[in-house]
Structure 1
Amino acid sequence: MSIRVRALAAAALTTALVFSGASAYAASTSTQLSNGTLYFSAQDGAVVSGNGSLFYGATKYKKTGGSKVNVYLKMSTSESVFSSPLKSVSSGQTVDYSFGGKSKAKYAPDCRATGLMDASTGGPYYTPTVNFC
């Protein structure tokens, strides 16, 4: 299995684990927008990978109306903002992005993170902040 295939499989698994919110160390939230819903979830690395010095976050947008839009899905912490590549989404589609394992000490010493989205039609749009520790 190539390194790229392994990385894609790990990202898909991380997104599934983060959005499942199946532990006490996971937090999920959402914001209802006029043409869809913006979701964000973060999880302590102790649960996802067995490494408590990391955390994992993922942002998802489910578009329910309006015309096609280009978006950047993002995660904001007290120390940094992480962004997806540009994604296009039409009504009835969902796009998501997992930010992989990030250092809690470096990027989220307060164990808090927020999902956000910049769209070609406006924004930024924010979810409520979650505490994942």
Structure 2
Amino acid sequence: MIMRALAIGAVAGALVVGGTAAAHAVTTSTKLSNGTLSFTAVDGSAVNGDSSVFFASTAYKKTGGSTVSVRLEMITKDGRFGSGDAYKSVSAGQNVITQWGGISKSYYASDCKATGSMWATGSVYYTPTVHFC
């Protein structure tokens, strides 16, 4: 299942709503040999008072190595979500982020858990799973 990403702003890989970091956001990350893959999720009740939705972002900060094409995704027990623009080219010193906004918890993450993932050069990398509500 692929959903189109909704950009709602980012600062250093954190989920941002209205110009400030979202309260009660849960972030996890995985250190890779040439960068860091991170994932942030937050219950909608902390963002806009809507407890039926959640917001999430997957980010990759590349710190070394050659340029690669990456696809950032989010995985829940009810689906896998990728960006509508698919692969992004990223070089050392660059950050890429894909964000999802207003996703139905009951339909797509009924257990309130999600994981970030990245496809890069024939490999898949994952963040630890977060529990966001």
Match in the other structure for 1:123? 123
Q: How does 1:17-36 map to 2 (within 5 A)?
A: 17=17, 20=21, 22-23=23-24, 26-36=25-35
d(CA) in 1 for partners of 2:23, 2:51: 16
Deviation at 1:69, TM superposition (A): 0.6
1:103 pairs with 2:109: no
Q: Higher RCO, 1 or 2 (CA under 8 Å, sep at least 6)?
A: 2
d(CA) in 2 for partners of 1:127, 1:39: 6
Deviation at 1:103, TM superposition (A): 0.4
What is the TM-score with the length of structure 1 in the denominator?
A: 0.84
Match in the other structure for 1:49? 48
**C-alpha offsets along residues 75-116 of structure 1, whole Å, 9 cap, x if unaligned?**
000000111222110000001111111100000010000000
Contact 2:15-2:22 within 8 A present in 1 as well? no
Deviation at 1:123, TM superposition (A): 1.9
d(CA) in 1 for partners of 2:89, 2:44: 30
Contact 2:22-2:47 within 8 A present in 1 as well? no
d(CA) in 1 for partners of 2:116, 2:15: 14
d(CA) in 1 for partners of 2:22, 2:28: 10
Moved over 4 A (4+): none
Calculate percent identity across the aligned residue pairs: 53
**C-alpha offsets along residues 37-82 of structure 1, whole Å, 9 cap, x if unaligned?**
0000000011112211001110000000111111110000000011
Deviation at 1:21, TM superposition (A): 5.5
Aligned residues: 121
What is the TM-score with the length of structure 2 in the denominator?
A: 0.84
Higher relative helix content: 1
Contact 1:71-1:89 within 8 A present in 2 as well? yes
> Structure 1: which amino acid aligns with 2:88?
K
Match in the other structure for 1:89? 90
> Structure 2: which amino acid aligns with 1:105?
S
Per the alignment, in what secondary structure is the counterpart of residue 15 of structure 1? Answer: strand
Structure 1: segments with no counterpart, 5+ residues: 1-6
Match in the other structure for 1:112? 113
